A and B are shown apart, each in its own frame.
Chain A
């Protein structure tokens, strides 16, 4: 079963508008962490934001915020005031802490491509 689902293959947004990138996850663990990474065309993976399963407040980092809905198992990334430089692939990832077996590796979704138009 897929652990991280990103259903939007691609999105277009006008510069200065806000955009929401969807991410749903599947886990039976109580302790886990959710991450968003950005991969521009140059290829590097850039950490954006983190949300812990026990965090009561939604995480925010500058123009990035994470809309965490634990009951729905969703962790959507919201980018406010889009900039041309935000055009990139965006990946949602989860780190589980399985109580039995497995390891605490990061598991990634397939990503989605955001294009910001001037």
Chain B
């Protein structure tokens, strides 16, 4: 049973380009969370999605960032017109549902570097 798969592991983009980060949740998991980790900091919540629905996007910047989790295929975090401040590690987590003791399983992250 494969874990949460994120790709690419490392992504380099020039300022102004688009970054697309992919997350395939664990088999049977329908809940996906995206987090951003700046250097030397904790994980900041960005968005929580279920299949075809955005449940909570309170942590997403209002501009340039979007996320989707289609019926088929991975969840995508898209960052348009990247800036240097977008350089960070982006983690995806999945869970099978909701519940107090429902653990979130994390992928290995995508390290985005904007040059």
Contacts and interface: CB of A to CB of B under 8 A. Distances in A.
Interface in B71-93: 89, 91, 93
B12 interface: no
B48 A52 contact: no
Interface stretch (A12-20, A63-71, A74-82, A100-108): A100-108
A104 B55 CA distance: 10
Interface of A: 31-33, 35, 37, 43-45, 47, 50, 52-54, 91, 93, 95, 97, 102-111
Contacts, number: 63
A47 B43 CA distance: 14
A103 B100 contact: no
Contact of A33 (B45, B93, B100): B100
Given A43-B108, A44-B109, A91-B43, A97 B56 contact: no
A115 to B, nearest CB: 15
Contact of A102 (B56, B104, B105, B106): B56
A52 B103 CA distance: 11
Closest 4 CB pairs of A and B: A103-B56, A45-B106, A110-B42, A33-B100
B63 interface: no
A103 B48 contact: yes
A45 B90 CA distance: 12
Interface string B48-78: 1000000110100000000000000000000
B1 interface: no
A37 B109 CA distance: 14
Nearest to A6: B42
A79 B89 CA distance: 27
B43 A95 contact: no
Contact of B43 (A33, A44, A102, A108): A108
Contact of A105 (B45, B91, B103): B45
Contact of A35 (B33, B103, B111): B103
Contacts of B42: 91, 108-111
A52 B108 contact: no
Given A33-B102, A105-B45, A108-B44, 13 more contacts: A45-B91, A53-B100, A91-B43, A95-B104, A97-B98, A103-B48, A103-B55, A104-B98, A106-B33, A106-B93, A110-B41, A110-B42, A111-B42
